[in-house]
Amino acid sequence: MTEFSSFSLRVDPAHARIDVPRQITVDGLNPGETVTIAAVTLRAGTPWQSTASFVADAQGHIDLTRDAPIAGDYAGVSPMGLIWSQSLLDPKVGNGRVLFNDDMFAGLDTTLTATRQSGSTATASLHQQLATDGVTRREVREEGLVGTLFLPAGPGPHPAVVIVNGSGGGINEPRAALYASQGYAAFALGYFKAPGLSDYISNTPLEYFETALNWVHRTLKPLHGFVALSGQSRGGELVLLLGSMFSELVSAVIGYVPGAVVHGAQSACDPATGRDGPAWLYRGEIVPHVWQNNRTATWAALNEVDADGVSRRHAEAVSTALNDPDAVARARIRVENIRGPVMLLSGTDDAAWPSSRYSRMVRERLAEVQHPYPVGYVDVDGAGHSILFPYVPTTQLSFPHPVSGRISTSGGTPANNAHADEASWAAVQKFLDDAVAARR
């Protein structure tokens, strides 16, 4: 078969923010020719890879915004399918949960290689940036706080977002860097498993977050006094709780796969107090949680594992606690006290805990009290617990918990989780834009 000399692979734009979709095209092919494209990305020094094969049209052209692969690691039309369908090249090497480099300014570089049936190849590069030009970073170790502050380019003032992690702990620099790249003063706040802090979520004093909110208002002097909270999983529970308790300091709340009730320490517990012990304290007292004096709660479902030894029943175990209405009433987060808009993001196949049900509970309560602010809601059918932001791998469904070490699944499928990443981030951007505009 004769080959055209103009065989080429192109990415447009080649260099952009991580949440920007790209157009990947191949030209100079024979009509009907099959080409396989491989995408390899180094993530914290560990290679991830995906492949997919495509058939050229009558003009010898392939366009991933239009064409579905005939074989490979994803199906259907998905312009960035080669990114979200990546998996560890060697599953025995590296940590499958580490998707980003330590340096938020380094970005992620992907090498794309298109291989023709003859064996000839064409290459292109795709660069995804978290912290864009002009964003600055500084570590915060003030007033007992442990976190990282990312500021956007320009003099400000900027609206602010405080970001907290879930039961894995640590400091969520990737999300903060991306918020800053969108124009927000973004404070990634650690509260356990961070330098100088406890290794566990158990007995975390909520005054710590009150201090952080006051620090943000006083130090950053945000535009229009706007300070949003953003958290996922236990962080999603936490931001709803903080918004209800410190409402005068919180302008908006974004809960990724949140809880509607206060939970105990669970998988992130200090072994000395156990998973049924408290996560949150306020003024030295335990914040009532759903596992306290619960007549129906049981962890028995966690003992059920699949053929690979993976527990897939954490959500089922957590749901047993919701069958005691008195315990739920005691532990319910008083979301009606929040003085601002609320955004809830969840998936119907969340295997970690019932975030879809929890989001519905929050919505129903806010509707019942006729909450005077907008309430956003994205509940993605078939998506799981790990909802991040667009164009990162979604293939790692089972992993050891960062604290307990127990292997479990987050649920969903790679394709549904990738859709949730896109849909949630689009909704959050609009939510924040509208919330800031409403403060003018």
Q: What is the pLDDT of residue 300?
A: 86
Cβ 28 vs Cβ 85: under 8 Å: no
Widest CA span in the chain: 78
Beta-bridge partners for 205: 281
Q: What is the pLDDT of residue 160?
A: 98
Distance separating alpha carbons of residues 99 and 48, to the nearest angstrom: 9
Distance separating alpha carbons of residues 362 and 240, to the nearest angstrom: 9
pLDDT digits (tens, 9 = 90+) for 71-80: 999 999 999 9
Active-site annotation, residues: 233, 350, 385
pLDDT digits (tens, 9 = 90+) for 157-203: 999 999 999 999 999 999 999 999 999 999 999 999 999 999 999 99
Q: What is the pLDDT of residue 77?
A: 98
Distance separating alpha carbons of residues 387 and 264, to the nearest angstrom: 22
307 vs 319, residue with greater confidence: 319
pLDDT band at 4 (very low <50, low <70, confident <90, very high): very low
Identify which of 10, 44, 5, 6 has the alpha carbon closest to the alpha carbon of residue 24: 10
Domain coordinates in residue numbering, the chain: 8-129, 136-438
Average pLDDT over all residues of the chain = 94
Q: Which helix (H) or strand (E) holds 82?
A: helix 81-84
Question: Percent of the chain beyond pLDDT 90?
Answer: 88
Distance separating alpha carbons of residues 412 and 385, to the nearest angstrom: 8
Torsion of CA 210, 212, 213, 215, to 10 degrees: 120
Angle at 197 between CA 149 and CA 248, to 5 degrees: 55
Distance separating alpha carbons of residues 218 and 225, to the nearest angstrom: 10
Asked: is 136-438 a CATH 3.40.50.300 domain? The reply is no
DSSP string, 118-165: TS-EEEEEEEEESS-TT-EEEEE--TT-EEEEEE-SSS----EEEEE-
Asked: is 8-129 a CATH 2.60.40.2310 domain? The reply is no
What's the whole-model pTM score? Answer: 0.95
400 vs 112, residue with greater confidence: 112
Q: What is the pLDDT of residue 1?
A: 45
pLDDT digits (tens, 9 = 90+) for 29-44: 999 999 999 999 999 9
Identify which of 22, 81, 31 has the alpha carbon closest to the alpha carbon of residue 60: 31
Distance separating alpha carbons of residues 431 and 136, to the nearest angstrom: 24
Sheet architecture: strand order including 146-151: 136-140, 146-151, 185-190, 160-164, 227-232, 252-256, 342-347, 375-380
Tokens 């028995």 belong to: 300
Tokens 């409402």 belong to: 247
